Structure 1
Amino acid sequence: MYPKLDVYVEKIIHNALYLQQECRKVGVELTVVTKVVRAMPEIVIPLRDAGVGSFGDSRMQNIKRLRDAGVENPLHLIRIPMLSEVDAIIEHADFVFVSEIDTLKKIVAAKGKRKTAVLFMIDVGDIREGVWYEHADRSLEQAVKIAGRRLIGLATNLGCFGGVLPDETNMRMLCDLGKRYALPTLSGGNSAALLLIEEQRLPKEINHYRVGEAVFLGTDVTRNRSVPGTDPDTFILQAEIVEIQVKPSVPVGKIGQDAFGRKPEFEDKGLRKKAIIAVGEQDVIASGLLPLDPKISVLHASSDHTILDVTESAQPYKIGEKLSFRLSYGALLRAMTSEYIFKNIVV
């Protein structure tokens, strides 16, 4: 069944255990973030069985899916929660990240299966979630009174919204606050923060990371790099060619916006041999398709079609053949979410 996403579980396990080992060398516990694979039990359970200690996800549906599959490892809800999901949190999640005092009050007051521990989010510059670091004391003083021992630490997130890179300065902001309130856990980052460990620049007080991209793809998109020691060939998308035609490289006629409101740009290269594959923006982010054939170029995509330039390839491609692609993080996220892509677990 195509399009098909081959999932190489053993390579993912290698990445997870390698990164867990490297983190533990400097006193950092690693939580593997499973949101990019929708916490598929077929992927997460082998990770658990191989020795991964804890998991995190941004969606309560995914955390519940893991509990229903028998995963009893510590689970972190890493997206700041909706008030409407507090009851589910205390039923299924061991840790939750919060940034609002009203949310914290509701979590502490809720009665349920678990005494869910809390990490308070501090925004040290990326301007996504978290109380702004310059006036964090006011919120933290309240949080300590409300949550007591259930407030176990502080956390920050960098690189995901504003593109701000983790460094010694913004990590030190978190450390200083943690010391002031004697909180034992400082969750300092994601895949973007791994470089601080590699370069031995991570403040010793930081003792927890939440990592997904580097585990599942071996990459760090914030610096456009491969993470040393990891395997990048964890997911391969196969898509079928449905048309091959020689056509102009520039459309004929007045150009407006495409179906997604974008105004595409074209370089005039004359006539080109083009292939259309049966996968589109509903399934992947086409700009995140990385052809294994280096002579193929991804041109553009609509909802259901992706157009490729295969002119330079030495392969005599025909309709019905399958083309293979690595995926960027964004493309993998969408592909795993799409019900139209068959997930083939390779063990």
Structure 2
Amino acid sequence: MIATAAPATSRVEINIGKIAHNAEKLVQFYGSKGIEIMGVTKTVCGDPNIAKIFVSNGIHILADSKIENIKKMRDAGVNAQFVLLRSPALSELDAVVKSADISMNTELAVIRGLSTIAEKYNTVHEIILMVEMGDLREGIMPADLEGFVQEILKLSGVKIVGIGANFACFGGVKPSEKKMADLSKLAGLIELKFSLPLSYVSGGNSANYNWFTATENIGKINNLRLGESIYLGRETLDRKAIPGLFTDAFTFISEVIESKIKPSVPDGETGQDAFGNQPKFRDRGLIRRAIVAFGSQDVLVTGLTPELDIEILGSSSDHTILDAKDVNLQVGDQVKFSPNYGALLAIMSSSYITKKYTNVKDNHILT
């Protein structure tokens, strides 16, 4: 059914109650084996409304890759511990020490800089050392970890509180039983050799769902960093829905601005499109081509799935073209889409997309 027109040409409806439900269930699920959750807020640009939902449903450590987002949540009165989810840049160390309780690190030059800044402010900045376990994004090589720790222990302005690893982000490497055992072993060696208790052994992210479900021994893994499984209710290796979670907490909606019967193949000699691609078209005959009021500047269009039986044909920077098929889309109609992770990230980052919160009463699902 096509809804009536609404004031915003493109918006995302954020069902707060469904996010709260997913957060609560995942806290219980991972907590059943002693694993604590860091709620990743980068996906929603540190949205304070969502951050507060995390905290009220048992997630008291929030992780973000942007200092600006951490500042925004602090200024909004979000009562949590804040983690910078990536290695700090040398140019932002002062802001990191002021705003983040913990940062994830892989470079001695950065850690030495953090120590100097922390000493200036008469504080101690806590750090988690990220270890390279095969995904080839960030991380200290395992063979270098002991020497790395030895150098850091000479510094008075920083304190090592944990180690962690990343999976299924850049290289798509799975957090397998062996990978988790290897990380646990590294944690044990560091604790034993340096008499250094680690508060956090952070084994990964939403991709760890299958490992956690199957494993009989989590080893020293006591922390996971979750974003997508809370927001979209899915694990991230195969994007399968997690039982008992909502997969539709976010709905992207846009308005039809043109609807006409047109040919399905362009007429004339073709070159590159707006983004330098050479487009190809299948001849479907005459079709109802509808245009909705968003484009690649607003969202990762390929990450959207229409809720109606229609097809996205492509997009320019500010127009997205649909094959309406048998749906009689008319100007002013609202079309709904389900976003994947990439689309959600772009939607929440776009200043052109209105954010509308629904189902907010008592942070619980309304019936």
Which moves more between the two structures, 70-79 or 263-272?
263-272
Please report how far the alpha carbon of residue 240 of structure 1 lies from its aligned counterpart in structure 2 after TM superposition: 0.3
**Structure 2 residue aligned with 1:119:** 128
- State the Cα deviation string for residues 32-69 of structure 1 (Å, max 9, x = none): 00111111112212332333222110000000111111
Cα 1:120/1:2, change in 2 over 3 Å: same
Please report how far the alpha carbon of residue 197 of structure 1 lies from its aligned counterpart in structure 2 after TM superposition: 1.2
Please report how far the alpha carbon of residue 256 of structure 1 lies from its aligned counterpart in structure 2 after TM superposition: 2.7
**Structure 2 residue aligned with 1:286:** 301
**Structure 2 residue aligned with 1:12:** 19
Q: Does 1:42 align with 2:42?
A: no
Cα 1:250/1:224, change in 2 over 3 Å: farther
**Structure 1 residue aligned with 2:82:** 75
Cα 1:332/1:114, change in 2 over 3 Å: farther
Please report how far the alpha carbon of residue 113 of structure 1 lies from its aligned counterpart in structure 2 after TM superposition: 7.2
What TM-score, normalized by structure 1, do the two folds share?
A: 0.94
Cα 1:201/1:132, change in 2 over 3 Å: farther
Residue number among 179, 182, 186 corresponding to 2:201 in the alignment: 186
**Structure 1 residue aligned with 2:337:** 325
Q: Does 1:255 align with 2:263?
A: no
**Contact 1:28/1:206, CA 8 A, preserved across alignment:** yes
**Structure 2 residue aligned with 1:300:** 314
The whole-number CA distance in structure 1 between the counterparts of 2:92 and 2:171 is 27
The whole-number CA distance in structure 1 between the counterparts of 2:238 and 2:141 is 25
Residue number among 136, 139, 145 corresponding to 2:145 in the alignment: 136
Identify unmatched segments of 5+ residues in structure 1: none
Which moves more between the two structures, 74-83 or 44-53?
44-53
Residue number among 225, 232, 239 corresponding to 1:224 in the alignment: 239
Q: Does 1:198 align with 2:241?
A: no
Q: Does 1:57 align with 2:61?
A: no
**Contact 1:159/1:222, CA 8 A, preserved across alignment:** yes
The whole-number CA distance in structure 1 between the counterparts of 2:167 and 2:243 is 20
Residue number among 353, 360, 367 corresponding to 1:341 in the alignment: 353
Please report how far the alpha carbon of residue 237 of structure 1 lies from its aligned counterpart in structure 2 after TM superposition: 1.0
The whole-number CA distance in structure 2 between the counterparts of 1:145 and 1:103 is 14
Please report how far the alpha carbon of residue 218 of structure 1 lies from its aligned counterpart in structure 2 after TM superposition: 1.1
AA aligned opposite 1:99: T
Identity of aligned residues (%): 37
The whole-number CA distance in structure 2 between the counterparts of 1:104 and 1:165 is 29
**Contact 1:122/1:131, CA 8 A, preserved across alignment:** yes
Please report how far the alpha carbon of residue 6 of structure 1 lies from its aligned counterpart in structure 2 after TM superposition: 0.6
Cα 1:141/1:257, change in 2 over 3 Å: farther
Please report how far the alpha carbon of residue 271 of structure 1 lies from its aligned counterpart in structure 2 after TM superposition: 2.2
Please report how far the alpha carbon of residue 174 of structure 1 lies from its aligned counterpart in structure 2 after TM superposition: 1.5
Which moves more between the two structures, 179-188 or 207-216?
179-188
- State the Cα deviation string for residues 242-290 of structure 1 (Å, max 9, x = none): 1112222222333332212223332222222211100111110001111
The whole-number CA distance in structure 1 between the counterparts of 2:116 and 2:158 is 14
What SS does the corresponding residue of 1:181 show, helix, strand or coil?
helix
Please report how far the alpha carbon of residue 238 of structure 1 lies from its aligned counterpart in structure 2 after TM superposition: 1.0
**Structure 2 residue aligned with 1:210:** 225
What TM-score, normalized by structure 2, do the two folds share?
A: 0.89
What SS does the corresponding residue of 1:250 show, helix, strand or coil?
coil
Cα 1:270/1:132, change in 2 over 3 Å: farther
- State the Cα deviation string for residues 82-118 of structure 1 (Å, max 9, x = none): 1122111221211110000111111122233753211
- State the Cα deviation string for residues 217-244 of structure 1 (Å, max 9, x = none): 1123432322222101111111000111
The whole-number CA distance in structure 2 between the counterparts of 1:30 and 1:20 is 7
Please report how far the alpha carbon of residue 201 of structure 1 lies from its aligned counterpart in structure 2 after TM superposition: 5.6
AA aligned opposite 1:115: V
Please report how far the alpha carbon of residue 149 of structure 1 lies from its aligned counterpart in structure 2 after TM superposition: 7.7
Cα 1:303/1:119, change in 2 over 3 Å: same
Residue number among 225, 228, 234 corresponding to 2:249 in the alignment: 234
What SS does the corresponding residue of 2:155 show, helix, strand or coil?
helix
The whole-number CA distance in structure 1 between the counterparts of 2:10 and 2:269 is 33
**Contact 2:202/2:224, CA 8 A, preserved across alignment:** yes
Aligned-residue CA RMSD (Å): 1.8
What SS does the corresponding residue of 2:167 show, helix, strand or coil?
coil
**Contact 1:292/1:326, CA 8 A, preserved across alignment:** yes
**Contact 1:104/1:147, CA 8 A, preserved across alignment:** no
**Structure 2 residue aligned with 1:273:** 288
AA aligned opposite 1:57: D
Cα 1:113/1:53, change in 2 over 3 Å: farther
Which moves more between the two structures, 70-79 or 223-232?
223-232
Aligned length: 344
- State the Cα deviation string for residues 116-159 of structure 1 (Å, max 9, x = none): 21110111111111112344333233234436981011111111
Identify unmatched segments of 5+ residues in structure 2: 1-7, 192-196, 361-367
The whole-number CA distance in structure 1 between the counterparts of 2:156 and 2:332 is 60
